[in-house]
Amino acid sequence: MTELQKLREAFRTALDLPADAPVDDLHYQDNEKWDSLAHMSLIATIEDEFSVMIDTDDVINMSSFAEAVRILGKYGVTIND
């Protein structure tokens, strides 16, 4: 699985979305499944999946799929297809 696929999977798992749901354009709280509770689950899933520890400010700033890609870059994870 590519890093991009892994990140998409992490979003679907944490936000309880169907296996084929598009996630690349998701924004925090635009999708009703992505509420504050799901956000914590998403962070935990991403941390497990990519073996990183995300700082508080980045948890707060991770407000879209695109932001997650950018933030993971700071931790040395390059999201490529």
- Site for other proteins, rule CB under 8 A: 29, 32, 35-37, 39-40, 43-44, 47, 53-57, 59-60, 63
- The answer to whether 78 touches 3, Cβ cutoff 8 Å, is yes
Q: Closest separation between CB of residue 80 and other proteins, Å?
A: 27
The three-state secondary structure class of 23 is: coil
Q: How distant, in Å, are the alpha carbons of 5, 45, 55 from that of 76?
A: 17, 17, 14
Q: Closest separation between CB of residue 36 and other proteins, Å?
A: 6
Of the pair 32, 81, the CB lying nearest other proteins is at 32
